[in-house]
Amino acid sequence: MSQQLTLALSKGRIFEETMPLLRAAGIIVSEDPETSRKLILQTNDPDVRVIIVRASDVPTYVQYGAADFGVAGKDILLEHGGGGLYQPIDLNIARCRMSVAVSAGFDYARAVRHGARLRVATKYTETARQHFAAKGVHVDLIKLYGSMELAPLVGLSDAIVDVVSTGSTLRANNLVEVEEIMQISSRLVVNQAAMKMKRERLAPILAAFERASAAKQ
Residue ranges binding ligand PRT (CB under 6 A) = 10, 12-14, 54-56, 73, 75-76, 94, 96, 146, 162-169, 184, 186
Tell me whether residue 69 or residue 198 sits nearer to ligand PRT (CB atom): 69
Q: How far apart are the first and last CA of the chain?
A: 37
Nearest Cα to 1, choosing from 212, 193, 217, 215? 193
Residue placing its CB nearer to ligand PRT in the complex, 70 or 73:
73
Please, what's the b/e burial string for 130-154 (b: 16 or more CB within 10 A of its CB; e: otherwise)?
ebbeeeebebebbebeeebbebbee
Going from the C-alpha of 173 to that of each of 85, 151, 164, 168, 177, the distances in angstroms are: 37, 10, 13, 9, 12
CB of 101 to ligand PRT, least distance (A): 10
Instruction: Answer whether 9's CB lies under 8 Å from 51's CB.
Output: yes
Please, which residue, 133 or 182, has the CB nearer to ligand PRT? Answer: 182
Shortest Å distance, C-beta 208 to ligand PRT = 22
Nearer to ligand PRT, 53 or 190 (CB): 53
Q: How far is the CB of 170 from ligand PRT (least distance, A)?
A: 6
Please, what is the minimum distance in Å from the beta carbon of residue 58 to ligand PRT? 9
- Our CB check for ligand PRT shows the closer of 87 and 197 to be 87
Q: Which amino acid is at 204?
A: P
- Residue of minimal Cβ distance to ligand PRT: 73
